Amino acid sequence: MSEFVKIAFAPIGAPEDGALVVFVGDDLKPGPRAAKILGEAAATTESAAKTIGFKGHVLTVLDILQPAGLAAGRLLLVGYAPKKDGLPLDFATLGGFVFGKLGETKKATVIFESPGEAWDSAAAAQFALGLRLRAYRFDKYKSKKKNGSEEEKAEPIAATIGVADPASARLAYGACEAVAEGVEFARTLVNEPPNVLFPAEFASRAATLAKLGVEVEILDEKAMAKLGMGALLGVGQGSKRESRLVVMRWRGAKSKKAKPVAFVGKGVCFDTGGISIKPAQGMEDMKGDMAGAACVVGLIHALAKRKAKVNAVGVIGLVENMPSGEAIRPGDILKAMSGQTIEIINTDAEGRLVLADALYYTREKLKPIFMIDLATLTGAILVALGQEHAGLFSNDDELATRLTNSGLATGETVWRMPMGPAYDRQIDSRFADVKNAAGRNGGSITAAQFLKRFVAETPWAHLDIAGTAMSSPSNEINTSWGSGWGVRLLDRLVADFYEDRAAP
């Protein structure tokens, strides 16, 4: 249960107090049951709407305080009339919008109906998902309120969603609630300060998935050295904090021996850039350089919580990239688990080194159907795509298409970027098999080409989430610095294309 909002589904009825939320179209008419509840207050709302020019467009609201004839202290008329672009109504976005308008209200009743179309239980569940995602906040380290008084734990907002079939809506919300928990888990990991969330602590938090039936294995530096993970260990050798590799297995398919789908996350818990140190301005944001790993943990949580009928594995490489007398240097040559040698050109191109060993381990030890890695890998992807899309690179057209479609369905959109031999030649090294950086031009592409050298023929996709996972623009379902981006996208991918339909 969320600590910020308490969601319930109930038959449609009038609230005794708090806020009442009613949806209207461009004719400003509510649904039949809402109209009955409004009664004589409907005439007042129409007059108020005309006075301020409220047209009922989607994601607009008319907020009326102490409406005559209603017990509720506030009446929110929320528009749902489509915009000129004609795009279908996204109920999660609508839910987030409504929560954002509740303000300090502690209790709200939502009449979830429209006069123009039936809003089913699936729509109600998505609406509730949006409410919950927008409600999330990260304030655990704030000891005082703005007025200087001691912080008191705020009670969650109680939101009752009035629907025609509460039992069906509660059932549909079960899977959405699992996804919401996964997103919240990922957001909190990204938001945590780096002195709290270092590799061993991150691994311990991932291990809590065991309570959901996930098998969790944690490899320490000795175990990774035995496997030959010289690339991953090389990144972490400059820090006093030891590195970790975490393997999370969810066995939900009918056949426990069926090949898994695999998700691999970059988990650089703090990235100074190493010897190739970053500028001081904005370096505090590098606590979020583990957002790919956070997404993988959140995703496995969601799959296990909703008992997804699939075998799935999550692999995360956890390191700190720090400058010290022990740190790797430009010019050093590392040997990866695959046996390939890597010339270090820039120690700030460290995430791909972590992923090189994590991807190879996943490919060789776990034999997956596919591998998808997520990483805040390059600033170049922000130059190319801004913060509206994650960069998608893949060696498999079917997997890339499915990811694109899942992105469109969830709003966590991806844009496929080119790859090819001309880019690959840019990372050939004079002294080793490959170099870890190729210069400024096409930086996100050459980074993806580097990763491709460690996946062989396994279907693979790389998501560069540097623009979407942290410090991304606020939207109707997220006002958090860490967005939890990718959990909804990948859960939808699994649900639509890879779950065992024959399983009970």
CATH number at residue 80: 3.40.220.10
Q: Which of the following is catalytic: 33, 107, 132, 352?
A: 352
Q: Which pLDDT belongs to residue 34?
A: 92
* Domain end position, chosen among 166, 187, 209: 166
Same-domain status, 341 and 281? yes
Contact by Cβ (8 Å): 480, 137: yes
Same-domain status, 108 and 19? yes
Same-domain status, 74 and 216? no
Three-class secondary structure of residue 231 per DSSP: helix
Type of residue found at 201: E
For residue 182, tell me if it sits in a domain.
yes
Helices (H), 378-430: 380-385, 397-410, 421-425
For residue 171, tell me if it sits in a domain.
no
**Residues 332-341, mean pLDDT to the nearest whole number:** 98
Could you give the CA distance from residue 345 to residue 329 in angstroms, rounded to a whole number? Answer: 8
**Residues 389-411, mean pLDDT to the nearest whole number:** 97
Same-domain status, 154 and 56? yes
Same-domain status, 63 and 82? yes
Q: Which pLDDT belongs to residue 45?
A: 82
Give φ, ψ of 202 to 5 degrees.
-60, -45
Same-domain status, 93 and 180? no
Q: Kindly report the CATH number assigned to the domain that includes residue 308.
A: 3.40.630.10
* Domain end position, chosen among 133, 166, 199: 166
Annotated catalytic residue 352: yes
For residue 351, tell me if it sits in a domain.
yes
How does the average pLDDT of the chain come out, rounded? 94
Same-domain status, 64 and 207? no
- The total of structural domains in the chain comes to 2
Structural domain of residue 420, as residue ranges? Answer: 176-497
CA atoms within 13 A on the CB side of 281: 0
Q: Which of the following is catalytic: 278, 307, 335, 416?
A: 278
For residue 417, tell me if it sits in a domain.
yes
For residue 502, tell me if it sits in a domain.
no
The model's pTM is 0.95
Same-domain status, 159 and 227? no
Q: What is the DSSP letter of 241?
A: S
Contact by Cβ (8 Å): 233, 320: no
Q: For the segment 293-329, what is each residue's pLDDT rounded down to a tens digit?
A: 999 999 999 999 999 999 999 999 999 999 999 999 9
Same-domain status, 382 and 358? yes
**More confidently predicted of 136 and 504:** 136
**Residues 130-141, mean pLDDT to the nearest whole number:** 96
* Domain end position, chosen among 142, 166, 190: 166
Q: What 3 state SS string does 63-77 have?
A: EEECCCCCCCCEEEE
Annotated catalytic residue 142: no
Same-domain status, 28 and 147? yes
For residue 503, tell me if it sits in a domain.
no
Same-domain status, 183 and 57? no
For residue 286, tell me if it sits in a domain.
yes
Contact by Cβ (8 Å): 171, 122: no
